[in-house]
Amino acid sequence: MQGQVSTAAAVLEGRDLAALRGERLIFANLDFTVSAGELLKLVGRNGAGKSTLMRMIAGLVTPFAGQISWHGSPVRDDPDGFCADMIYAGHQDGLKTALSAAENLDLFARLRGIRSQPADQALAAFGIADLADLPVRYMSAGQRRRVSLARLLVAPASLWLLDEPLTALDTSAIEQLGSVVDAHRDGGGMVIAATHADLPGSPGKVLEIVPPDPFEDDAEPSA
C-alpha cells in the first residue's frame, strides 16, 4: 500500500518554489508532491518558512519562483477552482468573536456554498458540542482552536492546509484531530500540516524546509 501511494499520480505538486521575505531568501528550489490520501508534514526550525510555504500553497503569497500545480494544471490559471476544493486553517483562528461557535461554522459553510456536515456534528467530532451556542469571545484558546478545526468538517474540500494545528490543543483534542485527519485521508483527502509535534494516526511524508544559505545549514531543526 505504501508503495502504491508514493507512485500514485500527484494531485498537488510544487516545483522549484522559492520565497522572498523583504530582502531575504527564505527557501529555494523546494519541490513536493501530494497524492490522494497522503499526509505531508512540513518540518523546519522557527522562521524556516513553514507558514510562508503554507500560505503560498493556499495562494495568499505569490511564489518568488516556481509553480504550484493542482490536478496537473497551474493553480494560478484557476485559483477559484482550487480554493473551492481547499481549506486553509491558519495559525490565526479566523473566527468572529461576536458570533457563537455554531454561527461561525454555519457562516463558513454558507460562504463556501456547500455543506458536508451540520455544525453540531463537526463540533462533536472535536468534543465541544456543548459549546455550540457560546460566543467565541468567551472561549479559551484551545476551545477556539477546536472550533476553527471543526470548519474542516462543515464544508467539503479534498485538500486541508493545517498551519500549527496542535497549538493550544490538549491531548484529547490532538487524538480527535488525528482521527479526523485519518478519516479524511481514508476518503482520498490530502492533508499538509506544519507542526513540530507528531500528529497521531498513520504517518505521512515529511518535507524538511532548510535555509538556502549553506552557512546556516548546520543547526539542527528544533524538535
Partner 1 sequence: MSRTFLMLIRRDLLLAHRQGGGSLLAIAFFVLVVSLFPLGVGPAPEMLERIAAGTIWVAALLSVLLSLDRMFQADLEDGSLDQLALLPIPLALVVLAKTIAHWLTTGLPLTLTAPLLGLLMQLSPDAYGALVAGMLLGTPILSLIGAIGAALTVGVRRGGVLLTLIVTPLYIPILIFGVSAVEAAAQGFAISAHMLFLSALLSGTIVIAPIAAAWSLKLALD
Please tell me the distance from the alpha carbon of residue 189 to that of residue 42, in angstroms, as a whole number: 17
Q: At what angle do helices 141-154 and 171-186 cross, to 10 degrees?
A: 10
Among 6, 8, 24, 62, binds partner 1 (CB under 8 A): 62
Q: Does 96 bind partner 1 (CB under 8 A)?
A: yes
Please tell me the distance from the alpha carbon of residue 165 to that of residue 199, in angstroms, as a whole number: 9
Q: Which stretch binds partner 1 (CB under 8 A): 7-15, 43-51, 80-88, 166-174?
A: 80-88
Q: Does 58 bind partner 1 (CB under 8 A)?
A: yes
Q: Does 102 bind partner 1 (CB under 8 A)?
A: no
Site for partner 1, residues 108 to 147, rule: CB under 8 A: 108, 110-113
Q: In whole angstroms, how close is the CB of 191 to partner 1 at the nearest point?
A: 17
Q: Which stretch binds partner 1 (CB under 8 A): 52-60, 121-129, 191-199, 211-219?
A: 52-60
CB 37 within 8 A of CB 189: yes
E-state strands within the chain: 10-21, 24-35, 39-43, 65-70, 73-74, 86-89, 159-163, 190-194, 205-208
Instruction: Count CA within 13 A, CB hemisphere, residue 209.
Output: 28
Which of residues 60 and 141 has its CB atom nearest to partner 1 in the complex? 60
Q: Does 54 bind partner 1 (CB under 8 A)?
A: no
Q: Which stretch binds partner 1 (CB under 8 A): 25-33, 34-42, 67-75, 102-110?
A: 102-110
Q: Does 80 bind partner 1 (CB under 8 A)?
A: yes
Please tell me the distance from the alpha carbon of residue 138 to that of residue 32, in angstroms, as a whole number: 40
Angle subtended at Cα 82 by Cα 80 and Cα 88, rounded to the nearest 5 degrees: 105
Residues in contact with partner 1 by the rule CB under 8 A:
55, 58-62, 80-81, 83-84, 86, 88, 90-99, 107-108, 110-113
